[in-house]
Chains A and B, each alone.
Chain A
Amino acid sequence: MLSKLLGAVLILAAFALEGKRRSSCIQKRIKALSGLEQGLLSLEREIAYLSTPLALALEHAAVNAEAAAEIFSAAGRLMNRQRMPAEQAWREAIKSNLYLQSAELSALSRFAADLGLSDKNIQLKKLELTRLSVSDIRKAAVSSAAEQIKLLKGLTISAAVTLIILLF
C-alpha cells in the first residue's frame, strides 16, 4: 500500500514538474518577445540617430534587450569576430533562443534579408515592421498565456490522476 502511495505521489510530482516547465516556457517566450521588441527599438535608434555600424549597434541594443540580449550580442559578435555576413549572423543568433516559436522566427528571418545592406530609410522601415510584428505576436502570447497555463495545469493533473487510476 505504502509503495502504491509513494508511486502515486511520484507520478503526481513528475507531472506537476512537467506542467511547471511548460508554463515557464510560455512565460520565457513572452519575456524573450518583450526583450526582442526593446532590442529592435534600441537598434532602430542606434541606426536612425547615430548611424552606428551594425555590429556595434547590435551590441548596444543587447544592453536593452533583457531576455533577448544574447540574440543581439551573438549577432554582433559573429559579425565582428568571424566576419560573418549580417544576414547569416542574425539567422545564427536567433537560433540561440530556445523559447522562440515559428511565428516570430519567421518574422525575424524576413528581417535578416539585406540587413545592413540598404539605405537608412529602408533599414528603419524594415526594423519598424519587424518590431511591430514581434509586438503583435507578444500581445497575442500574453492574452493567451493565462488560459494556456490554466489549461496546462488542469491537463497535467488530470493526466496524472488518470495514469494513477490505470496503474493502481
Chain B
Amino acid sequence: MLAVQKPDLKQILPYLPDAVSDIILGLNEHQLRDLQEIRLRSDRPLSLRIGGREERFALIISTEYLQQSLRLLSANSFYAMEEQLKNGFITLAGGHRAGLVGRAVLKEGKIATLTDISGINLRLARFVKGAAGEVKPYLYEKGELLSTLIVSPPGAGKTTVLRDLAYCLPHTVSVVDERGELAGSFNGRHSLPLGEGVDVLDGCPKAEGINLLLRSMGPEVILCDEIGSKADAEAILAAVASGVKIIASAHGGSVEQVIDKPDLARLLNAKVFGRLLLLGVRPRVGSLQAVYNQSLSVLYERRDE
C-alpha cells in the first residue's frame, strides 16, 4: 500500500511567481499528489509533470517570471550558488531540486557557471512510503541482500524508490546523498524520513563518499543515486570487494542502454550487481518493469494488460 506524501506547497510556492503559484493552487487533490515537476521555459507555456505526463498551461513564462523565480531560488544571491550551478541545479529546503539551463561559461573545458538562464525545472522531492514495496522482494536471494542497480529514465521514480529503501531496509545503511535529494538535506538537516540505522553523507561526490563511508561508518549497505562515472565504478568495485552491498540507481530505459555506458558495463561485466531492476511509469511512476539477475537473465517482466 502506497502512502504518497503530497508536496509541501509552503516549501515550493515561495520560489515561484504569483501567476504560477495560482495555477498550482488550482490543481485538484489527485493532480497535486502526483505533481512531479514544474517547468518554466522562457517564452513557453508553463508545463507541469503530473503522474509521468507533461501538461501545458495557457500561462506563458516571460523573462520577468523566470528572473523572479531565479531571484527567489537564489535568495538574491546567484553568486553564492556557483558551486551548485556547475552541476546545473540548486538544492532547496525539503530536498526539492531546481535544475537550470542557460548559457554555460566554461573554464579550462569545464562548466564554471551558468548565465542567461532560459529554463528552470523544479523537481519535487517527496517521500512515498511503500514505493519500494514492489522491488524489495527482489533484493534478496536466500535471505541475503544483493547489490542492486535500479535503472529508469528520468522522472520514473528511481530516487523515490531509493528513498523508501533508505527508510525500510533493516540494515546499517549509509547514504551518499550528493545532491541532497535522498534525505532532503538542507543546511545540515534531513527533511525526509529515514530509517533509524541510516547515516547520510550529504553533498559529497559519490566516489569519494563511498570511500569515506567505507573507512568511517562500517556500513552493511551503501545507497547512492545516479552513478555513471569511471570514479563511481572504481569506488563501487572497492566497496563490493570489502563485502559491502551497494544499491545504486542509473539513468536508462533498458538493459541495452545501461550496457552502452562503458563504466556501468564494466560493473555489470564484473557481476557486481546481483539484481538489475528496471522501473517505468506504467501503470504508475516507479512501477517495476523488469528484473534481471547477475547474468542479465530476465527474472520478471511486466506484461501490458
Contact = CB atoms under 8 A, between A and B. Distances in A.
B32 interface: no
A85 B82 contact: no
Contact of A85 (B14, B71, B78): B71
A57 B80 CA distance: 11
A83 interface: yes
B82 A54 contact: no
Q: How large is the interface on B (under 10, 10 to 19, 20 to 34, 35 or more residues)?
A: 10 to 19
Interface string A110-151: 000001111110010000000000000000000000000000
Interface in B77-104: 77-80, 82
B6 to A, nearest CB: 24
Nearest to A119: B113
Contacts of A117: 67, 70-71, 74, 76, 78
Interface stretch (A2-10, A27-35, A45-53, A60-68): A45-53
Contact of A51 (B67, B80, B105, B113): B80
B112 to A, nearest CB: 8
Nearest to B115: A119
B255 interface: no
A85 B17 CA distance: 13
A123 B77 CA distance: 10
Contacts of A47: 79-80
A85 B79 contact: no
A51 to B, nearest CB: 4
B52 to A, nearest CB: 33
B212 interface: no
Interface in A78-94: 79, 83, 85-86
A118 B14 CA distance: 21
Interface string B54-74: 000000000000011011101
Interface residues of A, number: 18
A71 interface: no
A41 B67 CA distance: 27
Given A85-B71, A86-B71, A120 B82 contact: yes
Contacts of B23: none
A85 B64 CA distance: 12
B105 A116 contact: no
Contacts of B80: 47, 51-54
A120 B113 CA distance: 10
B78 A119 contact: yes
Nearest to A53: B77
B72 A116 contact: no
Contacts of A118: 78-79, 115
A115 B75 CA distance: 11
A55 interface: yes
Contacts of A54: 75-77, 80
Contacts of B113: 119
Interface string B25-68: 00000000000000000000000000000000000000000011
B55 to A, nearest CB: 28
B115 to A, nearest CB: 7
A158 B71 CA distance: 56
Contacts of B75: 53-55, 79
Interface of B: 14, 67-68, 70-72, 74-80, 82, 105, 113, 115
9 contacts: A54-B76, A55-B76, A55-B77, A116-B71, A116-B76, A117-B70, A117-B78, A118-B115, A119-B78
Given A53-B76, A55-B75, 10 more contacts: A53-B77, A54-B75, A57-B77, A79-B75, A85-B68, A85-B71, A85-B76, A116-B71, A116-B79, A117-B67
Interface of A: 47, 51-55, 57, 79, 83, 85-86, 115-120, 123
Closest A-B pairs by Cβ, 6 of them:
A116-B76, A86-B76, A120-B79, A53-B77, A51-B80, A54-B77
